[in-house]
Structure 1
């Protein structure tokens, strides 16, 4: 099989990714099979193996593709001198938190893989943890730039701790939204901001 004989390769690849994401969400890692992906996408097995060496490679690409799409629609974590920390944080988080009910595949599949322990770690799980680390580093950098330098100097771990707090809380919001219709993004963002402001106030005292 060659690229010349592959009809609309990018369209086929996206159909495969969409089918794999849907099946993984419905059936989990074990229930996601190449045959089911082919049936759902309407493409032959040869098309799947043209793009991906195996199911593990495919699910890793689902995580990466979903994260890339989600990230492109997120506000940049840029410090805003002169603007109170809580106000800046609220402005950024409001947009990010509103995107969680859409259930980005990288979160859904990443959490699923993270809770499963296997002798050979799935590539998708490894990639998801790398994605989380990237987000943590971006958040920690933002807090380092946004907090009073004296506070950071006296509490050098504070930016990292606040970054992990944001990730843990938004993880919880995502999982809660999948289980029950309790979503009010403005309320949850306010709660997150209050917690962060309190933590900073304690560190500053």
Structure 2
């Protein structure tokens, strides 16, 4: 242990986190093509050798930006436990979203960087884009499963695609809120959660009519 009481691996890890933060900032400002190792090093204050110590290229680094940010965000999310018997789906959904939505501005790198990569099509897909689309598919599957376990089985039997449609609806609306926050600094989580819950409840009512 060093005189300062730090383990030998603590400094490399702190450098890695500085690189990830700098890469996310540069990517948000410059896009994929404008994100260079030189700019990341300038922003992080670390030499090129530090970047290549951890990552073989920019593609791998941006993929790690998405993965690291998503893992931080998902670790702080409430459990999507099915709605208890007799509890309205909207009530359970509101309880979960009240916490989940408020966490979006705090760790947005995977959304900001992921959206940027998802909108840019290339002959060879960047690893970060592939990873972001996989993350979206995972979230959609989890949401769909929650609705499948929370809705009346008779309703699902009549409308087997309903859970997945509701899951996609939440993702689309959340994308919109995040982009509005990034573009115009709009942020009203209470109103947004109300909008989602009302929309979902109406969709369920229409499916059951």
1:145 lines up with 2:149 in the alignment: yes
Match of 1:114 in 2: 118
Structure 1 stretch 176-185 or stretch 160-169: which is displaced more?
Answer: 176-185
- Following superposition of structure 1 onto structure 2, how do residues 31-180 of structure 1 map, counting pairs within 5 Å? 31-81=34-84, 82-102=86-106, 104-180=108-184
Shift of residue 138 of structure 1?
A: 0.4
Q: Which has the larger displacement, 132-141 or 42-51?
A: 42-51
How far is 1:110 from its partner? 0.5
Deviation larger for 62-71 or 100-109: 100-109
Cα distance in 2 for partners of 1:124, 1:143 equals 29
Q: Which runs of 4+ in 1 moved over 6 A?
A: none
Deviations 1:134-156 (A, max 9, x none): 00000000000000000011111
Shift of 1:204: 1.1
Give the CA deviation at 1:182: 2.8
| Alignment gaps of 5+ in structure 2 | 1-7
**Normalised by the size of structure 1, how large is the TM-score?**
0.94
SS where residue 62 of structure 1 aligns?
A: helix
SS at match of 1:101: coil
Q: CA RMSD in A?
A: 1.6
**Structure 1 pair 85/116, CA: closer, same or farther in 2 (3 Å)?**
same
Q: TM-score, normalised by structure 2?
A: 0.92
- Contact 1:103/1:174 (8 A) holds in 2: no
| SS of residue matched to 1:91 | helix
Q: Within 2, Cα distance between the matches of 1:7 and 1:184?
A: 39
Residue 33 of structure 2, aligned match among 10, 15, 30: 30
Structure 1 gap segments, 5+ residues each = none
Match of 2:4 in 1: none
Partner of 2:5: none
> Secondary structure of 1:131's partner?
helix
